[in-house]
């Protein structure tokens, strides 16, 4: 009994005494890192720039008009070493767990130097849910420096902005670390990333004054989507194509489509529900891909005087909508096939899942098959409602 008690006491004490407070950090000794930017270095491999926010400035009650964050960059060969070395400039312990955005410069991506992703995936503090973005045409570190009126810190702004974008229109492929690594490692899919750029003067964007203007001197905008071949950046697709890409990927939440109903007259369909299925197989040395889209939308504005009480009108509009969607999707796919020949849509993945035996034979040469694939797009579109009006006033307008 005595021995047992001693043993229990020892176990209990060792839990408290041997573990201890090794990772204890008081709030007043930490700075929250919200964003990282990776540029190509001159002496070292990379320049890592981080943004540590000043929490007091981000809180309306305590803000006193100073800079909302501090941005500092260091040059070196690996991100890990640089991230831990940041105290050459910062006074507080940096915590990376709240990092929202990783910005990679175009140059780094073009050289295919994305191997630092291993550190980001491995580190125990950094999460895998931050946005990964390409800085198109500007230095990645400059993106961090541009101030903004609401979130103040650029990475926080981008995080919120992209989230809203995905919810309202699409246009951001919403790539996180896991998606990236998955795309890099799977066959039959090439990675993509959203690309951002700075509209305006990056130098002026660094100041507090930038937050005080109705039209900021510089603002970070979502520009396009970057296409990769493995780790190398190969090109960009514009926002409409990006939206179509998301549509095919079945990641579309909501979007809005402008469809011609007469010459130079359009109606708007607000797409609120969508399901896309991709079927693919190899047939006589040719890949046949069928994209089946089922979309629900409501009519949210028409420039044609349409009598929206009648079923026929809806049917006509649905027909027009289907055609437009089909045309758009096909355009994007063909563009990627012809221009880049990179299977960013993951068609290869689908074929592998659905026609494994045949795919195995062409696995190493899939790019060729993708380029020459026969693409079919089937669209079923339904217009369910017409906003809070039925008949448009345009039908009653006095001539």
Partner 1 sequence: MAPIRRLRKTRALKKIGEIKEGKEIVKQEPSNSLLSLKKTLSGAFGKSSDFRVIEGFINGRAGILFYLESMINPKQMIKTTSKLFASKKDAQPFNTLDEFRSFSREIFGGVRCKSLKDDESVSQAILNGSLVIVIEGLTEIVSFHMLNTEKRALAEPSTQTVIRGPKDSFIEAVSTNISLIRRRIKNPKLTFEKFTIGKDTQTSVFIGYMDGIVNEKVLKELKDRLNGIEVSAIFDSGNIEELITDKTFTFFPLALNTERPDSAAANIMDGKVAILVDGSPFALMVPAVFVNFFEISEDFYQPLYLGSFLRFIRYLSFMIALITPSVYVGVLTYHQELLPTSFLLSIIAQREGVPFPAVVEVLLMEITFEILREAGIRMPKAVGQMVSIVGALVIGQAAAEAGIISNIMIIIMAITAIANFVAPVYSFSSASRLIRFLLIISAAILGLYGVFLMLILMVAHLCSLRSFGIPYLSPLAPFILEDQKDVFIRFPYWAMNNRPKYLESEKAIKANPVASPSPPPMKGE
The residue among 49 and 151 lying less far from partner 1, judged by its C-beta, is 151
Instruction: Pick out residues in 163-202 that bind partner 1 (CB under 8 A).
Output: none
Kindly tell me which residue out of 4, 5, 43, 61 binds partner 1, with binding defined by CB under 8 A: 61
Kindly tell me which residue out of 19, 64, 91, 364 binds partner 1, with binding defined by CB under 8 A: 19
CB 289 within 8 A of CB 279: yes
Q: How far is the CB of 66 from partner 1 (least distance, A)?
A: 12
Instruction: Pick out residues in 142-161 that bind partner 1 (CB under 8 A).
Output: 156
Write down the number of H helices and E strands in the chain.
14, 13
Q: Which residue in the block uniquely carries the two structure tokens 């995080």?
A: 159
When computed from its CA atoms, the radius of gyration of the chain, rounded to whole angstroms, is 26
Kindly tell me which residue out of 97, 164, 178, 390 binds partner 1, with binding defined by CB under 8 A: 97
| Rounded-to-integer distance, Cα 66 and Cα 56, Å | 9
Query: Which of these ranges, 15-23, 262-270, 287-295, 325-333, lies near partner 1 under the rule CB under 8 A?
Result: 15-23
Kindly tell me which residue out of 40, 45, 100, 352 binds partner 1, with binding defined by CB under 8 A: 100
Residues in the chain: 399
Kindly tell me which residue out of 1, 11, 21, 311 binds partner 1, with binding defined by CB under 8 A: 21
Kindly tell me which residue out of 55, 67, 304, 305 binds partner 1, with binding defined by CB under 8 A: 55
| Rounded-to-integer distance, Cα 186 and Cα 304, Å | 47
The residue among 92 and 310 lying less far from partner 1, judged by its C-beta, is 92
DSSP string, 103-138: EEEHHHHHTT--TTHHHHHH-SSS-S-SEEEEE-SS
Q: For residue 243, give the H/E element and its range.
A: helix 239-249
Instruction: Pick out residues in 344-363 that bind partner 1 (CB under 8 A).
Output: none
Phi and psi (nearest 5°) for 28?
A: -75, -5
Q: For residue 185, give the H/E element and its range.
A: helix 177-185
Kindly tell me which residue out of 67, 94, 95, 211 binds partner 1, with binding defined by CB under 8 A: 95
Binding flag, residue 91, partner 1 (CB under 8 A): no
The residue among 33 and 38 lying less far from partner 1, judged by its C-beta, is 33
Instruction: Pick out residues in 120-139 that bind partner 1 (CB under 8 A).
Output: 125, 127
Q: Which residue in the block uniquely carries the two structure tokens 């693919």?
A: 280
Q: How far is the CB of 176 from partner 1 (least distance, A)?
A: 16
Q: How far is the CB of 21 from partner 1 (least distance, A)?
A: 6
The separation between CA 399 and the C-alpha centre of its own chain, rounded to angstroms, equals: 48
Query: Which of these ranges, 56-64, 170-178, 233-241, 285-293, lies near partner 1 under the rule CB under 8 A?
Result: 56-64
Binding flag, residue 321, partner 1 (CB under 8 A): no
**Number of residues near partner 1 (by CB under 8 A):** 28
Binding flag, residue 34, partner 1 (CB under 8 A): yes
Kindly tell me which residue out of 16, 215, 263, 338 binds partner 1, with binding defined by CB under 8 A: 16
Supply the DSSP symbol for 38: E
Binding flag, residue 59, partner 1 (CB under 8 A): yes
Instruction: Pick out residues in 224-283 that bind partner 1 (CB under 8 A).
Output: none
DSSP string, 321-371: HHHHHHHHHHHHHHHHHHHT---TT-HHHHHHHHSHHHHHHHGGGHHHHHH
CB 96 within 8 A of CB 83: yes
Q: Which residue in the block uniquely carries the two structure tokens 């919403």?
A: 174
Token output for 140:
């990645």
Q: For residue 236, give the H/E element and its range.
A: strand 232-237
CB 30 within 8 A of CB 98: no
Kindly tell me which residue out of 3, 26, 65, 263 binds partner 1, with binding defined by CB under 8 A: 26
Task: List residues near partner 1 by CB under 8 A.
Answer: 15-16, 19-21, 23-28, 30, 32, 34, 53, 55-56, 58-59, 61-62, 95, 97-98, 100, 125, 127, 156
């Amino acid at each position: 009994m005595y021995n047992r008690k001693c043993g229990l006491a020892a176990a209990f004490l060792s839990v408290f005494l041997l573990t201890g407070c090794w990772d204890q950090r008081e709030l007043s000794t930490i700075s929250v890192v919200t964003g990282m930017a990776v540029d190509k270095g001159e002496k070292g491999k990379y320049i890592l720039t981080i943004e540590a926010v000043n929490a007091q400035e981000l809180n309306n009650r305590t803000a006193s008009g100073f800079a909302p964050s501090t941005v500092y960059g260091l040059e070196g060969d690996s991100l890990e070493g640089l991230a831990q070395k940041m105290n050459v400039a910062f006074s507080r312990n940096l915590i990376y767990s709240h990092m929202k955005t990783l910005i990679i410069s175009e140059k780094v991506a073009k050289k295919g130097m994305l191997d630092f992703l291993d550190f980001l995936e491995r580190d125990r503090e950094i999460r895998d849910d931050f946005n990964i973005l390409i800085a198109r045409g500007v230095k990645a570190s400059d993106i961090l420096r541009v101030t903004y009126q609401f979130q103040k810190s650029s990475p926080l702004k981008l995080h919120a902005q992209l989230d809203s974008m995905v919810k309202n229109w699409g246009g951001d492929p919403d790539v996180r670390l896991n998606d990236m690594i998955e795309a890099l490692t799977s066959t039959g899919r090439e990675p993509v990333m959203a690309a951002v750029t700075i509209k305006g003067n990056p130098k002026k964007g660094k100041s507090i004054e930038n937050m005080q203007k109705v039209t900021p001197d510089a603002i970070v905008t979502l520009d396009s989507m970057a296409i990769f071949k493995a780790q190398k950046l190969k090109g960009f697709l514009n926002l409409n194509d990006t939206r179509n890409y998301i549509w095919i990927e079945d990641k579309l939440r909501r979007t809005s489509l402008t469809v011609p109903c007469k010459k130079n007259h359009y109606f708007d369909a607000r797409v609120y529900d969508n399901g896309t299925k991709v079927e693919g197989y190899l047939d006589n040395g040719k890949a046949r891909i069928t994209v089946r889209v089922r979309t629900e939308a409501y009519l949210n504005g028409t420039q044609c005087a349409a009598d929206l009480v009648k079923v026929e009108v809806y049917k006509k509009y649905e027909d027009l909508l289907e055609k437009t969607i089909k045309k758009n999707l096909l355009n994007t796919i063909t563009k990627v096939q012809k221009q880049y020949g990179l299977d960013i849509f993951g068609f290869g993945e689908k074929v592998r899942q659905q026609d494994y035996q045949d795919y195995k034979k062409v696995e190493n040469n899939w790019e060729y098959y993708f380029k020459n694939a026969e693409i079919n797009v089937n669209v079923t579109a339904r217009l369910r409602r017409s906003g809070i009006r039925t008949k448009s006033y345009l039908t009653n307008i006095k001539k």
